[in-house]
């Protein structure tokens, strides 16, 4: 086990919108879409012969979104030669995280961590200024999710790449097939105190928004912190589902207050609205209140 330096947690993003860097008209409007974070993509949305052009556009894209006070993630390419060049362009003020696709294992994450440490030093950034998000997109990575989540302190989140995982696993990206992969990632993230993004369905679904809403609600129930999205229509659905309702907020406050009173009386549990409340329930209530 490698020793881990403690870094602050990532912001608790609900929605992360993919924006292809080479589509500058999309980049210019990205801050108006309502997403909690924008993921500037250098990988799948960029054709092979357009990688260099997209990378060259990255600094001005980051500068534009930074001026709009937008949280920025950059998804790099997995191929090593491209990944290194991508990170050189991406390590600059305004970038919150690098998203590493098709992660191969803990050593893969640690090598990228090492490279980012060197690049941060050259850029005059503090150690750990730019966090890592690991995309789990293969069966092998899924089966090693726990070790991936513990790879290094820079890793702030893991995320499910449902399309690539389904392709690698030979199954369709349907809720019944993705339930176990989703739960594995949630368990791994919670054990390592990092965030987890995804939902049991296909990211390509933006025609039937009610169906999409059902999958996001299911993901929230499973313990996910939020989700990636590829279309602005998906952003509002994700934000609505993950935004606590006034009823949720009042109930959470009631739980916290009642438990505090119980603690003052040296009691470990208390009844609230006909249900027994103990420490795990209280911690969930506090987590909800932290999202306000």
Closest CA to 43 of 81, 74, 88: 74
Q: Which residues are CB-contacts of 92 (< 8 A; sequence separation ≥ 6)?
A: 59, 62, 123, 125
Q: Tell me what pLDDT residue 28 has.
A: 95
Residue 34 sits in the same domain as residue 161: yes
Q: Tell me what pLDDT residue 267 has.
A: 77
234, two tokens? 């998906």
**In which region does residue 221 sit, left (phi positive, over 0), alpha (psi from -120 to 50) or beta (all else)?**
alpha
| Domain CATH number, residue 37 | 3.20.20.60
Residue 66 sits in the same domain as residue 136: yes
Residue 106 sits in the same domain as residue 37: yes
Residue 270 sits in the same domain as residue 126: no
Q: What is the pLDDT of residues 16-75, one digit of tens each?
A: 999 999 999 999 999 999 999 999 999 988 989 999 999 999 999 999 999 999 999 999
Q: Give CA–CA dist 227/178, Å, rounded.
A: 14
Q: Is residue 97 in a domain?
A: yes
Q: Is residue 50 in a domain?
A: yes
**Average model confidence (pLDDT) across the chain:** 91
Q: Is residue 6 in a domain?
A: no
Domain count, the chain: 2
Share of the chain above pLDDT 90, in %: 74
Residue 260 sits in the same domain as residue 207: no
Q: Is residue 1 in a domain?
A: no
Cα 9–chain centre separation:
12
Q: Is residue 56 in a domain?
A: yes
Strand ranges (E), 166-244 = 195-197, 227-229
Residues 106 and 150: beta-carbon distance below 8 Å? yes
Q: Tell me what pLDDT residue 6 has.
A: 64
Residues 270 and 255: beta-carbon distance below 8 Å? no
Q: Is residue 7 in a domain?
A: no
pTM (2 d.p.): 0.86
Closest CA to 18 of 204, 192, 199, 245: 204
Residue 51 sits in the same domain as residue 185: yes
Residue 81 sits in the same domain as residue 61: yes
Residues 40 and 74: beta-carbon distance below 8 Å? yes
- The distance in angstroms from the start CA to the end CA of the chain is 36
4 has pLDDT over 70: no
58, two tokens? 């990255």
192, two tokens? 């390592």
Residues 262 and 269: beta-carbon distance below 8 Å? yes
Residues 146 and 188: beta-carbon distance below 8 Å? yes
Q: Is residue 4 in a domain?
A: no
Which residues form the domain of 269?
247-289
């Amino acid at each position: 086990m490698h020793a881990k330096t403690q870094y602050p947690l990532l912001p608790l993003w609900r929605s992360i919108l993919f924006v292809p860097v080479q589509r500058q008209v999309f980049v210019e409007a990205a801050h108006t879409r309502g997403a909690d974070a924008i993921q500037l993509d250098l990988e799948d949305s960029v054709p092979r012969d357009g990688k260099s052009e997209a990378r060259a556009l990255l600094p001005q894209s980051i500068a534009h979104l930074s001026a709009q006070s937008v949280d920025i993630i950059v998804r790099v390419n997995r191929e090593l030669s491209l990944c290194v060049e991508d990170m050189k362009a991406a390590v600059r003020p305004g970038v919150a995280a690098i998203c590493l696709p098709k992660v191969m294992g803990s050593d893969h994450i640690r090598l990228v961590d090492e490279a980012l440490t060197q690049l941060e030093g050259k850029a005059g950034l503090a150690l750990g200024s730019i966090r890592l998000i690991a995309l789990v997109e293969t069966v092998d990575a899924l089966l090693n999710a726990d070790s991936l989540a513990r790879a290094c302190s820079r890793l702030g989140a893991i995320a499910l790449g449902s399309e690539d995982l389904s392709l690698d696993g030979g199954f369709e990206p349907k809720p019944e097939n993705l339930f176990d992969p989703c739960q594995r990632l949630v368990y791994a993230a919670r054990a390592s105190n990092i965030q987890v993004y995804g939902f049991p369905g296909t990211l390509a679904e933006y025609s039937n928004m009610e169906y999409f809403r059902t999958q996001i609600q299911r993901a929230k129930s499973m313990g996910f912190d939020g989700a990636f999205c590829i279309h602005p229509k998906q952003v509002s659905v994700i934000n609505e589902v993950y935004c606590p309702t006034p009823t949720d907020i009042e109930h959470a406050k009631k739980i916290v207050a009642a438990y505090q009173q119980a603690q003052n009386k040296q009691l470990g549990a208390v009844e609230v609205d006909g249900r027994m409340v103990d420490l795990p329930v209280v911690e969930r209530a506090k987590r909800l209140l932290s999202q306000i």
